[in-house]
Amino acid sequence: MLDKEAGKAAGAAQPAGQKRALRQPSIKDIARLARVSHPTVSRALQNSPLVNAQTAAKIRKIADEAGYRASAVARGLVTRRTRTIGLVVTTVADPFASEVVCGVEETANDHGYSVFLADSNADPVREKKVVQAFAERRVDGIIVTSSRVGALYLPLLAEMMVPIMLVNDQYPGAFVHSVMISNFEGMRAASEHLVGLGHRRIAYLGDKFGYASDTERVAGYRAALDAAGIPAMPELIVHGDGKPEAAMTAIEKLLTLADPPTAVCCYNDMSALGAMRQIRARGLRVPEDISVAGFDDLFFASYTQPPLTTVRQPMRRMGQLAMENLIKLMSGEESVEQIKVDAELIVRESTTMRS
């Protein structure tokens, strides 16, 4: 039975169903009830071998009856670790980001970490502010997807002293620790697929912002054409912004050419979605009139009409790899600096032989 004073502080141990304490009992309350020192209570609750087993059992029983819950903040002050990581995405509505988030959270939870999520809105200034805010809140590490800041983090690392991992860094430069898809190889495979189907007028619908991923993907497209002896015609390279609406405008430019393409490689699946819609709006058919290939293999790719041929990014696995390597960084272990993940061409019904 709890004494009167402790009962006021901790809400005396009561039968099930009765009202709990008005406030959370502290280690001081538990120490008073168990008639031991504060450090002894702390050690017992952390299963330290320095505390006698019988005493530790008594302390844990009292703590449980009083409704004591360990404070993560208090533990962090002692260990200098908060068991939290910050995760920055371009937008929570992005299907790519949502899959990466799932992979990060799975691995984080398996290792006892909590994840704080923030949205940068694809704004480099906002992204930098969010990362700095996470550092100020003493997260143990930070993961940034599709970073618009990238290598600019390098001078900040010493100042913030927080490990950072990037997933598909969009900045045209190398960052120390990152997980990247094989952009060049993936788009080359998609372009070679179309060449193999007999297409010679193959367009590329890219991203106008000049991110590293677009630079690498258009290089893969050019390499495939060059290997087949097909010139990369400037009028067949157009740009959107990675979203369906801009892709519709970009594809319209290709459709109005005197000699329009018979196939198009799109920067991502969202662009391919817009391209397919505009092609149909012009009374043309996919793939009979124009074959379309995407990049990402987002959840809807197999449900479009026709199902979309695309390059698969193992998004969830990339999130897992980022978290696994961040854990190594946070622990001071040696980790792989730049991880490149293989892309896989997924052939569906949006591409066919040139008629």
**CATH code for the domain in which residue 326 is found:** 3.40.50.2300
Tell me which range, 11-20, 120-129, 218-227, is most confidently predicted by mean pLDDT.
218-227
| Structural domain includes residue 299 | yes
Band (pLDDT 50/70/90 cuts) for residue 77 is very low
The reply to whether 177 and 212 lie within a common domain is no
Instruction: Provide the greatest CA pair distance for the chain.
Output: 91
298 and 200 in a single domain? The answer is yes
Q: Let me know if residue 77 belongs to a domain.
A: no
297 and 222 co-located in one domain: yes
Range with the poorest average pLDDT among 102-111, 136-145, 186-195: 136-145
H-state helical runs in the chain: 4-10, 27-34, 38-45, 53-65, 72-79, 95-110, 124-136, 154-160, 183-196, 212-227, 244-255, 269-281, 315-331
Please report whether residue 192 resides in a domain.
yes
Number of domains in the chain: 3
Number of CB atoms found within 10 A of residue 160's CB: 15
Which residue do the tokens 């677009």 mark? Answer: 214
Residue 354 lies in a domain: no
Reported as a single tens digit per residue, the pLDDT across 304-336 is: 999 999 999 999 999 999 999 999 988 887 777
Q: Mean pLDDT, to the nearest integer, of 120-125?
A: 88
Look at residue 18 and tell me whether its pLDDT is greater than 50.
Answer: no
* Structural contact between residues 118 and 90, judged by C-beta atoms closer than 8 angstroms: no
Q: CATH number for the domain including 24?
A: 1.10.260.40
- In the predicted model, what is the mean pLDDT of residues 217-236? 97
Predicted local distance difference test score (pLDDT) of residue 17: 38
Question: What are the strands, taking DSSP E only, across 275-317?
Answer: 291-293, 310-312
- Residue type, position 193, single letter: H
Do residues 322 and 296 both lie within one domain? no
Within this chain, do residues 156 and 268 fall inside the same structural domain, yes or no?
no
Domain boundary among 70, 93, 123: 70
Per-residue pLDDT tens digits for 127-143: 989 998 998 888 999 99
Domain boundary among 28, 50, 70: 70
- Looking at the structure, do residues 187 and 200 belong to the same domain, yes or no? yes
3-state DSSP assignment of residue 194: helix
* Distance, CA of 38 to CA of 28 (rounded, Å): 6
Last residue of some domain: 70, 99, 119?
A: 70
Quote the pTM value: 0.77
Range of the domain at 229: 183-313
Give yes or no: residues 212 and 231 share one domain.
yes
End-to-end CA distance of the chain: 87
Is 351 within the bounds of a domain?
no
Residue recorded with tokens 């031991």: 36
DSSP helix/strand/coil, 132: helix
Q: Are residues 113 and 16 in the same domain?
A: no
Residues 9, 128, single domain; the answer is no
At position 233, the amino acid (one-letter code) is: M
Evaluate whether residue 135 is within a structural domain. Answer: yes
Query: Do 199 and 140 belong to one domain?
Result: no
| Across 93-107, 156-170, 193-207, least confident range | 156-170
For 273, phi and psi rounded to 5 degrees? -60, -45
In a domain, 30, yes or no: yes
Q: Are residues 146 and 187 in the same domain?
A: no
Q: How far apart are the C-alpha atoms of 273 and 253, rounded to whole Å?
A: 16
Same domain for 237 and 330, yes or no, is no
348 lies in a domain? no
